A and B are shown apart, each in its own frame.
Chain A
Amino acid sequence: MNINILIGGAAGQGINKVSDIVSNVLSKYGYYTFNYRDYPSLIRGGHNFNVLAISDIPIESHSLKMDFIVALDERTIETHKSELKKGGVLVTSEGFEDEGKNLNVALAGFLIKILGIPLKNLESEINSQFKESEDALISAKKGFDKAEKKFSLKKLNNKISILSGSEAVSIGARNSSLDVYIAYPMTPSTNVMNEMAKNQVENNLMVFQPENEIAGVSMALGSSFAGAKTMVGTSGGGFDLMGESLSMQGISGIPLTVYLASRPGPGTGVPTYTSQSDLDIALRAGHGEFPRIVIAPGNPIEAIEKTSEALLLSEKFRTLSIILSDKHLAESEFSSDEKLKKVERFSVVRDVPGEKIVKAASYEVDGTGNSTEDAVLTEKNADLRVEKYESLKEYIVKNMEMIKIHGNKDSKNLIIGWGSTSGAIKDAIKDLDAKFLQVMYMKPLSPQIKEEMENAEHIILVECNVTGQLGRLLREKTGIKIENRLLKYDGRPFCVDELKEHLKEML
């Protein structure tokens, strides 16, 4: 089964509350949900919508075509009525004119009844979300009573939790006992900052908002130098500003982990939408030649694990690790019953000021840590940076899960993708003769990728950018050019049904 519900309204009407209540009730009832959030850059008014997808098997994507549309305002009806499937149901605020600010709660109740879930499940969710509001419960019940049951969902025994990519990055950082997180607000990276900041004192970490990203990353280098496990978070433009200090990391060897959540550029672009167009800068930002690691998780479980890996690798190899995400992963809400892999705990063991005399520099240095312009040392230091990359690559290839293979493992049809696009690809190939190679380590790349590409008869690249950045990277590293490319760059992620249609045509 796969049910898609679009919930739309003006910003401030509380459409997130509707998907929040419904997905919480469903996940506790054993169902998998995926919630996509679509909103423009404004605070009140305009038009926002969520698409909540529901399934009895794991899903990580939503559809173009809707089973239900829940419209909190007229504009939602006008904008989305053509997306309603034949036989689909439009739920409006008609009959709920008196609910005021609790209209969203009433409509959530309405949906719960339609899905055939008992009232008591709704009541317990409302009670836990609105501890002191009798009104919310009354509105929810009113919504429930007005609806007619259309489905009869049976209770399932899946143990499901719901997480956004932002929550996941924050959990991963805390699992590795991050000490200091520094970020300047920028969509879609801000939610990680908010998550980390929430209970910072209790969680024994510190979240600092500096005057700009340049200050932020400079502070991060100072903090890491002083012995704190430190991470910065940003998005495209902010990451550009950090560029010089990534280079500073490269020469000084002060461990640094960067969370980069991308959105469509260039410039301010389309700030509240999604894009995979910052892979190039993640791989290249910063002048000079120096090692780095770029990891792109595809869902929250991977985001938890890969954030911990990034922090571990930064410290172990005194290098730069970049966790590359985007708005679709950062802000969509995923459900999962997967168990987390065990996190490798690590401590800062290097010498730090306060204990020893330690020097780090933006210049090339000699054995004493002081600056040098010597030709022999200049060459030697460059060689050492290359050696560092070789040794971290060897370690990662041996110890880390760098790629994932999904779908029919014997298929000669190979789909290649990465990051947040992985969810739609995994769901789209469920009944196709195709194998999906999900690249998680973008640098270094797994040697297995070339083998997979050589063994395939037909390769399709799927990415959310206009130039096929992973495709270009693979061509550079393997010499193989992928001719068939499915690229989406309208700021919206792939929907599973549209992706499946395209793939069918191309296979």
Chain B
Amino acid sequence: MVNEEEKSVIKPVIAILKSETVKKLGTQQENTWCPGCPNFVILDSVKQVVAKFIDEGKYKQEDFAITTDIGCHAKIFDYLNLSGIYCLHGRAIPTAIGMKLGNPNLKVLTFAGDGAAYSEGISHFIHAFKYNPDMTLVLHDNQSFSLTTGQPTPTSQQGFLSKSEPLGVFDKPINPLKLALASNATFIARVNARDIKHMNEIFAKAINHKGFSFVEVIQDCLIFNLDANHKDKMMYKIEDNTDLSLAEKLVGEFDYNSKEGKIPIGVIYQNEKIPSLEEKWPQLKSLMEKGVGWKGKDL
């Protein structure tokens, strides 16, 4: 069933999908996500947002560089015609920060999953907020390691039964948004993978943010950890927020565990007063002023 509001969203989406730039952002690679996977929507959203930046003349297609982790989400590497590195598991964030050290002018987008970023890569996740490089992290959270056939991740709910933990998950999940805020995050947002219009809006804001922007995408896995799905009814949209004490309250509303309560979506916290990595390091600042990476430093 498609209601009236959703119909009005679908029309412009189709128009954007037909744009030449969106087409140029695609590849010929066979898509191997499961039919109906929310990753298709995330892919479309990224294409639309990047295409809009290109069409508006803000950036060239070549200015973008992505890093992806390992997992279902990471297959986006093959479906986007953008420069990038398909990294080792857990290493998408530091590799992306490295790209910014090598050329601070690149527009860097990192795609990581809840398994990769919060287990193997948790130290990188925390330190990224401290360094505050001007880049965007899109965190696909389905509360499950899915490409390895459904093991629990740090955000899986208690009691989740899986082949690797048949006794069920004993521990309470971590709250990555709380952790981000405690780590001096300068941009925290949350979106619903089912709402492409809102996702487009928030991704654009994240890319425009001067500093490390973290967008958590809540998405269902249609195969594993089905109990964690269908959280839509708990979600509500919030106004862009720059108030730290309100942010502290908002990040605590969803605990990744209970089926009750509220899940705020939108820009939960933004602070542009904290300098980015590129602004702090004189070497990078100078490359930014020249509009080059180290390769062009003598030009």
Contact = CB atoms under 8 A, between A and B. Distances in A.
A180 B102 CA distance: 7
B127 A348 contact: no
B83 A353 contact: yes
Interface string B68-90: 00100000011001111111101
B91 to A, nearest CB: 4
Nearest to B281: A206
A228 B283 CA distance: 13
B57 interface: no
Contact of B84 (A244, A355, A359): A359
Contacts of B88: 218, 244-245, 248, 362
Interface in B40-65: 61-65
A144 to B, nearest CB: 45
A371 B95 contact: no
Contact of B102 (A222, A245, A356, A362): A222
B124 A230 contact: no
Contacts of B86: 359-363, 371
Interface string A344-379: 000110001111111111110000101100000000
A223 interface: yes
A206 B97 CA distance: 14
B91 A218 contact: yes
Contact of A370 (B67, B78, B296): B78
B98 A221 contact: yes
B283 to A, nearest CB: 5
Contacts of A356: 62, 83
B294 interface: yes
Contacts of B83: 353-354, 356-359
B225 to A, nearest CB: 25
A486 interface: no
Contact of B91 (A245, A348, A360, A361): A245
Which residue, B78, B124, B297, has most C-beta atoms of chain A within 10 A?
B78
Counting chain A residues whose Cβ lies within 8 A of the other chain, the interface size class is: 35 or more
Contacts of B90: 214
Given A360-B85, A361-B85, A362-B88, A228 B27 contact: no
Contacts of A205: 283
Given A200-B283, A215-B123, A360-B86, A222 B97 contact: yes
B123 A228 contact: no
A201 B282 CA distance: 7
A360 B98 CA distance: 14
B196 to A, nearest CB: 24
A355 B27 contact: no
Nearest to B98: A222
B193 interface: no
Contacts of A39: none
Contacts of B102: 179-180, 222-228, 230
Interface of B: 27-29, 61-65, 67, 70, 77-78, 81-88, 90-91, 94-103, 105-106, 123-124, 126-127, 281-284, 293-297
